[in-house]
Copies of this chain bind each other. A is one copy, B any other.
């Protein structure tokens, strides 16, 4: 088993093994686990669990790459990411009954993941020379579309359209990153600032239940 894991993660050792990658790996694991729980709420079988885990963790980056025409798509060049999220999904079915004790941990990991996804998405679009608004959207797509795909496949209205500030955190992080970058701030420092401020923003939103105003409209005329 340890050998297998070593084999799975070996490819990573040959890359620039920086903090963003570590956070990314932790984040896709956490997203896969939360996706598996969503599948369990729909009483899916193990295959459904694995698909929803995969889609929740890697679907956002997939949508981003398709929209930007950024081929080959990220995870197709990193089989280890696929193994990781599949194993995370399966593992979740074993420890599900204990996971509510880790609610706070998951909210923390989810917040870090949202920021990591957003920054990675911005960087992909920047490399392809897209306009500023597309760069910001690429960051947000990466951070949010996994959850949207999960909810569509689970046949419910995406919760990101209703819950505490989440997409807004991604938007603020992306805009802040681009502003500091335009101001010539060093990339490492820039990312650190984005993580700290984005994380604090998300935690405050959760703590105080900050939400965007809701739009209610009941008339049917089209």
Contacts and interface: CB of A to CB of B under 8 A. Distances in A.
Interface of A: 34, 36-37, 39-49, 51-52, 62, 66-69, 71-73, 76-77, 79, 82-83, 93, 96, 100, 103, 106-107, 110, 130-134, 137, 148, 152-158, 160-162, 167-168, 211-222
A36 to B, nearest CB: 7
A156 B42 CA distance: 11
Given A62-B67, A67-B73, A155-B156, 7 more contacts: A37-B222, A42-B157, A44-B215, A45-B214, A46-B212, A47-B161, A82-B134
B76 A45 contact: no
Copies in the complex: 3
Contact of A79 (B44, B134, B220): B134
Contact of A100 (B71, B73, B212, B221): B221
A96 B215 contact: yes
A59 to B, nearest CB: 11
Contacts of A73: 67, 69
Contacts of A222: 34, 37, 103, 106-107, 110
Contacts of A51: 161, 167
B162 A153 contact: no
